[in-house]
A and B are shown apart, each in its own frame.
Chain A
Amino acid sequence: MSNVDYKVLVGLEIHVQLYTRTKMFCGCELAFGAEPNSRVCPVCLGMPGSLPVMNKQAVEFSMLAGLALNCQIPSFTKWDRKGYYYPDLPKNYQISQYDLPLALNGYIEIPAKNGSFKKIRIRRAHLEEDAGKNLHTAGNFSQVDLNRAGTPLLEIVTEPDMNNAAEVRALAEELQRIVRYLGVSEADMQKGHMRFEPNVNLVITRAGQQFKTPIVEVKNLNSFRALENSIDYEIGRQLDRFLETGETMEMGNKSTRGWDDAKEVTVLQREKEEAHDYRYFPDPDLVPVQVNEQWLNEIKSRLCELPSKKRLRYIKEYGLSDYDAGVLTNDRPVANFFEEAVKAGGEPKRVCNLLTQVGLKLANARGCAITELGPKPDDIAQLAKMAQTGEIGATAANTILEEMVKTGKAPQKLAKKLNLIQKSDAGELEAIVDEVLKSNPQAVADFKEGGKKSGKAKGFLLGQVMQKTKGRANPKVAAEILDKKLA
Chain B
Amino acid sequence: MDQLSAKQLRDKIAAHRTSSVEVTKAVFARIAKIEPIVGAYISTFEEQAIARAAEIDKRIAGGEKLGQLAGVPVAVKDNMCTTFGTTTCASKILANFHAPYNATVVEKLLAADAVIIGKTNLDEFAMGSSTENSGLKQTVNPWDTKRVPGGSSGGSTAAVAAGLCYAALGSDTGGSIRQPASLCGVVGLKPTYGRVSRYGLVAYGSSLDQIGPITQTVEDCALMLNIIAGHDTADSTSVDEKIAPVVDYLAKLDEPVKGLKIGIASSFNAGADEQVRKAIDEAIKTYRNLDATIVEIDMPHLDYAIAAYYMVATAEASSNLARYDGVHYGHRTREPNDYVEVYTKSRAEGFGKEVKRRIMLGTYALSSGYYDAYYLKALKVRNLIRGDFVRAFEKCDCIMMPVAPTTAFKIGEKVDDPLKMYLSDIYTIAANLAGIPGISIPCGFDDKQLPIGLQILSPAFSEEKLLRIARMYERQTNWHKKRPLI
Contact = CB atoms under 8 A, between A and B. Distances in A.
A148 B324 CA distance: 20
Contacts of A87: 327, 339
Given A49-B202, A144-B327, A287-B236, A83 B319 contact: yes
Contacts of A284: 205-207, 237, 316
B366 A281 contact: yes
Interface in B70-114: 79-81, 87, 89, 94, 97, 99-101, 103
Given A49-B99, A51-B234, A53-B234, A281 B328 contact: no
A92 interface: yes
Interface string B343-379: 1000000000000000000010011100100010000
B322 A93 contact: yes
A79 to B, nearest CB: 10
Interface residues of A, number: 29
Contact of A91 (B81, B200, B322): B322
Interface stretch (A40-48, A63-71, A305-313, A405-413): A40-48
Contact of A48 (B81, B205, B235, B363): B81
A87 B326 CA distance: 10
B323 interface: yes
A52 interface: yes
B28 interface: no
A286 interface: yes
A52 B234 CA distance: 7
Nearest to B329: A47
Given A48-B323, A49-B81, A54 B366 contact: no
B199 interface: yes
Interface string B229-257: 00001111100000000000000000000
Contacts of A92: 322-323, 325
Interface in A44-86: 45-54, 81, 83, 85
A50 B207 contact: no
Interface in B297-325: 315-316, 318-319, 322-325
Contact of B368 (A51, A81, A144, A279): A279
Given A42-B101, A54-B236, A284-B237, A49 B371 contact: no
Given A83-B322, A281-B375, A284-B207, A48 B234 contact: no
A285 B235 CA distance: 8
Interface string B250-284: 00000000000000000000000000000000000
A49 B203 contact: yes
A471 interface: no
Contacts of A144: 327-328
Contacts of A287: 236-237
A141 to B, nearest CB: 10
Interface in A140-163: 142, 144
Nearest to B238: A51
Interface string A252-293: 000000000000000000000000010111001111000000
A48 B233 CA distance: 18
A106 interface: no
Contact of B236 (A42, A93, A279, A285): A285
A198 interface: no
A49 B80 CA distance: 7
Contacts of A286: 236-237
Contacts of A50: 101, 199-200
A346 interface: no
A90 interface: yes
In this complex, the member of B199, B202, B375 whose beta carbon has the largest number of chain A beta carbons within 10 angstroms is B199
A279 B203 contact: no
B97 A48 contact: yes
Nearest to A287: B236
Nearest to B199: A51
B343 to A, nearest CB: 6
A119 to B, nearest CB: 33
A78 to B, nearest CB: 12
A91 B321 CA distance: 8
A53 B206 CA distance: 14
Contacts of B371: 279, 281
Interface string B191-205: 000000011111101
B316 A47 contact: no
A52 B339 contact: no
Contacts of B97: 48
B323 A90 contact: yes
A48 B99 contact: yes
Nearest to A87: B327
Interface in A14-46: 42, 45-46
Contacts of B322: 83, 85, 91-93
A49 B197 CA distance: 11
Given A279-B367, A281-B375, A284-B207, A48 B87 contact: yes
In this complex, the member of A42, A48, A287 whose beta carbon has the largest number of chain B beta carbons within 10 angstroms is A48
A81 B319 contact: yes
Nearest to A54: B236
A431 B97 CA distance: 96
Interface in B370-419: 371, 375
In this complex, the member of A52, A277, A280 whose beta carbon has the largest number of chain B beta carbons within 10 angstroms is A277
A46 B236 contact: no
Contacts of B363: 279
In this complex, the member of A45, A50, A81 whose beta carbon has the largest number of chain B beta carbons within 10 angstroms is A50
Contacts of A90: 323, 327-328
Contacts of A48: 81, 87, 89, 94, 97, 99, 202-203, 323-324
A48 to B, nearest CB: 4
A45 B328 contact: yes
A144 B87 CA distance: 24
Nearest to A91: B323
Interface string B332-348: 00000001000100000
A53 B236 CA distance: 6
A91 B327 CA distance: 10
Nearest to B316: A284
Nearest to B347: A85
A286 B234 CA distance: 11
Nearest to B125: A48
A9 B316 CA distance: 40
Given A144-B328, A279-B368, A46 B323 contact: yes
A49 B201 contact: yes
A281 B315 contact: yes
Contacts of A52: 236
A47 B99 contact: yes
A242 B437 CA distance: 65
A168 B224 CA distance: 61
Nearest to B87: A48
B237 A85 contact: no
In this complex, the member of A53, A54, A144, A286 whose beta carbon has the largest number of chain B beta carbons within 10 angstroms is A53
A65 B101 CA distance: 36
Contacts of A280: 366
Nearest to A278: B368
Interface of A: 42, 45-54, 81, 83, 85, 87, 90-93, 142, 144, 277, 279-281, 284-287
6 smallest CB-CB distances across A and B, nearest first, come from A92-B322, A284-B207, A284-B206, A279-B366, A48-B202, A49-B200
10 contacts: A42-B99, A48-B81, A48-B202, A53-B235, A81-B319, A92-B322, A92-B325, A144-B328, A285-B203, A285-B237
Given A49-B80, A286-B237, 20 more contacts: A42-B100, A47-B99, A48-B81, A48-B202, A50-B101, A50-B199, A51-B199, A51-B236, A81-B319, A87-B339, A92-B322, A142-B339, A279-B318, A279-B319, A279-B363, A279-B367, A280-B366, A284-B207, A285-B206, A285-B237
